[in-house]
C-alpha cells in the first residue's frame, strides 16, 4: 500500500482514539482488509498502542486481517435458514467457487463466509452477496448468482 495514499486517508480523521473505528472502516473499504502497515500507522496517528488497534480490528466481524475477495458471499446458517437447507447452499457455493467457507477464491473474486441469523428469517434460506439479500434460495440458484457476478 503506498504510504502517501494512507497518509491521505489518515488526514481525514482527528488523531484521537475515538477515530479508531472510523479509520479502520475506511481502510477496510479502500483495501478490502486491514494490512498490518495500516494498523501500525493508525496506532501512531491516534497515539494508542498497536495492541489497542488490534483489539478493535479483531473484535468487529466487519474487519478482516486477511485480504478479502472483490465480492463477499455469505450463507446464513442461523436456525431458520439451517432448517430450510442452508448447509446444501454452503456445499454448493464451496463446490462452485472451489474454496472452503472462510476462504477466498484463487482468483480473488469471492470470499465465502457463513453468518448467523441476520434477522431476515422470513426469507430463509438466505444468501447475501455484497450486502444484497437473496431469499428463498435454492442450490440451483447459486450457479445463476455467481454467473451474474462474472
Ligand atoms: S436464520 Fe437466517 S436470517 Fe434468521
> Is the CB–ligand 1 distance for residue 120 below 6 Å?
yes
Residues 45 and 58 sit within 8 Å (Cβ to Cβ): no
Q: How far is the CA of 43 from the centre of ligand 1 (A)?
A: 37
* CA–centroid distance for 36 within its chain: 17
> Is the CB–ligand 1 distance for residue 69 below 6 Å?
no
Q: Is it the case that residue 1 has pLDDT exceeding 60?
A: no
Residues 41 and 4 sit within 8 Å (Cβ to Cβ): no
* 99-132 residue pLDDT tens: 999 999 999 999 999 999 999 999 999 999 998 9
More confident residue, 68 or 4: 68
* CA–centroid distance for 54 within its chain: 17
* 76-94 residue pLDDT tens: 999 999 999 999 999 999 9
* 15-71 residue pLDDT tens: 999 999 999 999 998 888 999 999 999 999 999 999 999 999 999 988 999 889 999
**Distance in angstroms (rounded) separating the CA atoms of residues 2 and 17:** 24
Tell me the residue length of the chain. Answer: 150
Residue nearest to atom 1 of ligand 1 (CA): 78
Q: Are strands 71-76 and 127-129 parallel, antiparallel or unpaired?
A: antiparallel
Domains of the chain: 3-59 (no CATH), 71-148 (3.40.30.10)
In this structure, the number of other CB atoms found within 10 A of the CB of residue 34 comes to 23
Residues 145 and 129 sit within 8 Å (Cβ to Cβ): yes
* DSSP-derived secondary structure for 7-46: HHHHHTS-SSGGGHHHHHHHHHHHHSS--HHHHHHHHHHH
> Is the CB–ligand 1 distance for residue 78 below 6 Å?
yes
Strands (E), the chain: 71-76, 110-115, 127-129, 132-134
pTM strictly above 0.75: yes
> Is the CB–ligand 1 distance for residue 27 below 6 Å?
no
pLDDT band at 5 (very low <50, low <70, confident <90, very high): low
Q: What are the residues facing 129 on neighbouring strands?
A: 73, 132
Amino acid at each position: 500500500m503506498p504510504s502517501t495514499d494512507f497518509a491521505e486517508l489518515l488526514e481525514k480523521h482527528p488523531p484521537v482514539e475515538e477515530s479508531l473505528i472510523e479509520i479502520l472502516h475506511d481502510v477496510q473499504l479502500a483495501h478490502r482488509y486491514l494490512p498490518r502497515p495500516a494498523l501500525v500507522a493508525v496506532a501512531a496517528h491516534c497515539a494508542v498502542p498497536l495492541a489497542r488497534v488490534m483489539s478493535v480490528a479483531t473484535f468487529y466481524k466487519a474487519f478482516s486481517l486477511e485480504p478479502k475477495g472483490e465480492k463477499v458471499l455469505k450463507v446464513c446458517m442461523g436456525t431458520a435458514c439451517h432448517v430450510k437447507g442452508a448447509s446444501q447452499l454452503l456445499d454448493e457455493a464451496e463446490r462452485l467457487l472451489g474454496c472452503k467457507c472462510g476462504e477466498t477464491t484463487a482468483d480473488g473474486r469471492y470470499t465465502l463466509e457463513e453468518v448467523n441469523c441476520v434477522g431476515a428469517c422470513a426469507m430463509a434460506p438466505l444468501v447475501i452477496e455484497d450486502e444484497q439479500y437473496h431469499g428463498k434460495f435454492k442450490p440451483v440458484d447459486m450457479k445463476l448468482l455467481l454467473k451474474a457476478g462474472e
